[in-house]
Chain A
């Protein structure tokens, strides 16, 4: 690839193109040429009217400004030295010492940059001549001769490199590239394993007691007898995986008799077979993006999500009253065991939490 074609080997078509430096792809351009053809320096014959004044507009002001700028530069220098000194000198053993060190480092570095910037700005505004200069825009696309020259150079380079002629090299290069491109895809496998059916189930099982989340004490239905009561419960005895446990967290709410709206065919409502003595259990995970929904208003029986204000009607099977939640909170079938403790009579019958678009 590094083989270069001497430019004198190539035919010269006319005087205009004779200065075109023929290049092989991958070699650096000649330092003196601005374009492939070197045309720009030729055509830029009329000198642009760059007439910069020799001195500043106001020599007296510039004299003062020079001192000010120099002062700022010296200040910047001192601040930089201060930064080095603070970095070397200040201990960072404790939190307080680190705070002091950070303050010193940040302050000195700010002053160093700021003073340099202020100095440069004053320099520009008060000492440099105040002349407006126009830099004209040009067409971005290269001219026809340049493009022709490029095509020629490219083709020559391709020929010379043997990429076209030497099939073995070309094919083995492609063969080497393909597995390299596939490798990252294989690495993506470790994002798994696939969730399987775990998204559709929680750890609730038939006969599992409900315990108050936190102290983990089981709860009798008789202990949960005042309308307006609400508490967060978890399945008893499950401690293996907090993430899995979090998915099973449930709120139970006690209602006064006659408040719950039973579901009828084709109508939403609370599934009364899944309740015990007007106690209803709903998943605590919002079906929108999974925030814990436990803002229960005992006056209106609304369950509100603190994140996006999705509002569910707790009396009516957690139907959505307001907000972005796409489906009601799943209801957990509950019962009581022989000792009167509240238990789940099965797992949730539908997936809990968000991201079930087909249920939306």
Chain B
């Protein structure tokens, strides 16, 4: 291994390592960002019949046991006519669909479908009756967003369920509003547009696309804010440490008091 040591000590070694790191990061970034493009770049006009057919085949394998062979709905699950590509993209890209355990609330779980498969199923469902389309990257970009207005809207219309911090909260009968900590801007946009599960719909006519971007900007910026406290309980501060300190400290003081007044052994 002496040759590594020799190389490491050369004056140019540091520059070479930095360069290598930059190239690796650049290529990794490129690979990651390009992987999301097939679903978002396409517009409804360019959907080929083959894509829809592929989506239908996938649908009948993975979704039809609950939603019916033609997505007409069953006693288990609703009809998907008119829910739109955005609803499918939201449900499948967060891993909620296909649902595994039928419970009060479908929770986020690892995604088992590729972006191309989700795109195909979304286009098939959209072909059944229109509905909201999947937003493009530009539509969910928070460039130039008005964060203050986003906060105002979030506090007024979102925070009751999702917590002012986006930490989520309980609803009735086992349902809950999920935390927004892992949601991508596209998923937040789609959720507002389609109103998944118990969530109300915030269509573009009530909260405009620009205002949706403001809300997304607020939610994503919130994640970067300092959050003191170990187990933060939805950004309420270092309360948990305080409780441990208080009760633990009181316990220590009680034992100390016992020790001070303890009867000594006769020596």
Query: Given A57-B267, A304-B171, is A231 in contact with B161 using a C-beta cutoff of 8 Å?
Result: no
Contact A214 B171 (CB under 8 A): no
User: DSSP class of B's interface residues: helix, strand, loop or mixed?
Assistant: loop
Query: With an 8 A cutoff between CB atoms, is A17 at the interface?
Result: no
Contacts of A304 in B (CB 8 A): 171-172
**How far apart are the CA atoms of A229 and B267 in the complex, in Å?**
81
* Chain A neighbourhood of B202, CB < 8 A: 229-231
Measured CA separation A299–B173 after assembly (Å)? 12
Q: What interface size band does chain A fall in?
A: 35 or more
Known: A295-B161, A299-B197. A226 touches B171 (CB 8 A): no
- Nearest-neighbour CB distance to chain B for A120, whole angstroms, equals 9
B199 at the interface (CB under 8 A from A): yes
Chain B residues with Cβ under 8 A from A26's Cβ?
A: none
A215-B153 in contact (CB<8A): yes
Bitwise, A190-223 to B at CB < 8 A (1) or not (0) is 0000000000000000000000111101011001
Q: Smallest CB-CB separation from A291: which chain B residue?
A: B160
The smallest beta-carbon distance between A318 and chain B, in angstroms, is: 15
User: Contact residue range for chain B?
Assistant: 20 to 34
Asked if residues B264 and A125 are in contact (CB atoms below 8 Å), the reply is yes
A63 to B19 Cα, complex, angstroms: 70
Bound complex: CA A217 to CA B204 (Å): 13
Q: Are A253 and B171 in contact (CB under 8 A)?
A: no
Does the CB pair A300–B198 fall under 8 Å?
yes
Residues on B with C-beta less than 8 A from A300 are 172-173, 198
Closest to B154 in A: A214
Provide the residues of chain B in CB contact with A217, threshold 8 Å: 208
Q: Are B206 and A298 in contact (CB under 8 A)?
A: no
Cα A295 to Cα B157 with chains together (Å): 9
Rounded to whole angstroms, the CA-CA distance of A50 and B244 in the bound complex is 46
Residues of B bordering A, CB below 8 Å: 149, 152-153, 156-157, 160-161, 169, 171-173, 175, 177, 195, 197-203, 205-208, 211, 260, 264, 266-267
Question: What residues make up the interface of A, taking CB atoms closer than 8 Å to B?
Answer: 57-58, 61, 121, 124-125, 130, 212-215, 217, 219-220, 223-232, 253, 292-300, 302, 304, 306, 309, 311, 322
